[in-house]
Amino acid sequence: MRVCSKCGNKIKEDSFYCSRCGEKVRDIKFCRYCGKEISIDATFCKYCGARLRDPDKMEKLLMEKNKLREKLEFYKKGLENGILSQEEYQRRYDETIDELVDIEDKIIQEKMKGEKKK
């Protein structure tokens, strides 16, 4: 059990406010689906079960990386099937590779941030 820093009252672990003085004892946010108060670090709402956080930055970067790799495969098939000329294929390939390199750099930066936190 925790203690209110303002009045010394004993506080239940799941309380957001002190029942004696009303002091905020824990950060809160509201579920965007059901509107109830939930812990600031909650991933899911404990009332309605909704997922509260979007995929983290690393997940988004990895998804983007996969999309770019799929693009490269698509362009390759376009070249093989005669849909794209060699010049058009090379232009699109170069653009996509540049994007892929940028994403790879961001992934490395995120990994380094994660290691610093440990």
- Contacting residues for 43 by C-beta, under 8 A, at least 6 apart: 51, 52, 53
**Better pLDDT: 32 or 110:** 110
For residues 118 and 104, give the distance between their C-alpha atoms in angstroms, rounded to a whole number.
Answer: 22
Tell me what percent of the residues of the chain surpass a pLDDT of 90: 36
* pLDDT tens-digit readout, 46-93: 999 887 766 577 778 888 999 999 999 999 999 999 999 999 999 999
Confidence of residue 98 (pLDDT cuts 50, 70, 90): very high
Please state, as a whole number, how many other Cβ atoms lie within 10 Å of the Cβ of residue 12.
10
| DSSP designation for 118 | -
pLDDT of the residue at 118:
46
pLDDT of the residue at 31:
79
